[in-house]
């Protein structure tokens, strides 16, 4: 739960908040192929903007997704940077931003996850999707059996003859 007590926010100032949400706020059904793979971490600043509570910062959570191409499970980190959550102040002193945050995190999940996009932005962490790539033969393709290789001229046969002599 991400609950902020607005009485802790200094007037004309910000309240720095940093931590991790234990427990699964995603609330996805267990049969869903998308599952959280760790806690949601946040580093943000809460402030009061007119009649709203503003929480702005970075929110991040790893998820376990299934690649739509090769069906392999893989980890993808949702990262919201410079993200703002806004909630009306109303009469409450403690404001629960969990639902708002959950919605934004789930919206940031890829609709068509590919296992070569882990969300980290780190090219070193990039893996190759085994189902990606082009399976058609290209111009460099040559049959292995020389009897089927009609494009290469008699030079090929000459080279083969030399090999036999050796
Ligand atoms: Zn894949």
For residue 78 the two structure tokens come to: 């949702």
| Ligand 1 geometric centre to CA of 17 (Å) | 36
- The whole-angstrom separation of Cα 91 and Cα 1 is 20
DSSP string, 88-113: E-TT-SEEE-HHHHHHHHHHTS-SS-
| Ligand 1 geometric centre to CA of 70 (Å) | 4
- The whole-angstrom separation of Cα 150 and Cα 3 is 75
Q: Using a cut of 0.75, tell me whether the model's pTM lies above it.
A: no
Chain mean position to CA 101: 17
How many CB atoms sit inside 10 A of residue 35's CB? 16
Q: What is the pLDDT of residues 2-56, one digit of tens each?
A: 999 999 999 889 999 999 997 788 888 989 889 999 999 999 999 999 889 999 9
For residue 7 the two structure tokens come to: 């009485």
| Ligand 1 geometric centre to CA of 79 (Å) | 21
| Ligand 1 geometric centre to CA of 75 (Å) | 11
Which value, to the nearest 10 degrees, does the dihedral of the CA atoms of residues 11, 12, 13, 15 take? 50
Q: What is the pLDDT of residues 42-82, one digit of tens each?
A: 999 999 998 899 999 999 999 999 999 999 999 999 999 99
| Ligand 1 geometric centre to CA of 106 (Å) | 21
| Ligand 1 geometric centre to CA of 36 (Å) | 19
Q: Which residues contact 111 (CB under 8 A, 6 or more apart)?
A: none
């Amino acid at each position: 739960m991400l609950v902020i007590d607005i009485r802790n926010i200094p007037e004309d100032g910000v309240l720095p908040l940093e931590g991790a949400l234990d427990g699964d706020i995603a609330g996805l059904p267990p049969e869903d192929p998308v599952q959280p793979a760790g806690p949601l971490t946040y580093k943000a600043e809460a402030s009061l903007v007119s009649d709203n509570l503003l929480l702005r910062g970075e929110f991040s959570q790893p998820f376990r997704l299934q690649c739509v191409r090769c069906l392999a499970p893989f980890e993808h980190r949702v990262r919201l940077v410079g993200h703002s959550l806004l909630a009306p102040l109303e009469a409450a002193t403690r404001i629960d931003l969990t639902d708002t945050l959950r919605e934004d995190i789930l919206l940031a999940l890829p609709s068509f996850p590919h296992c070569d996009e882990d969300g980290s932005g780190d090219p070193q962490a990039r893996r190759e999707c085994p189902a990606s790539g082009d399976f058609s033969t290209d111009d460099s393709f040559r049959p292995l059996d020389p009897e089927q290789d009609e494009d290469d001229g008699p030079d090929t046969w000459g080279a083969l003859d030399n090999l036999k002599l050796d």
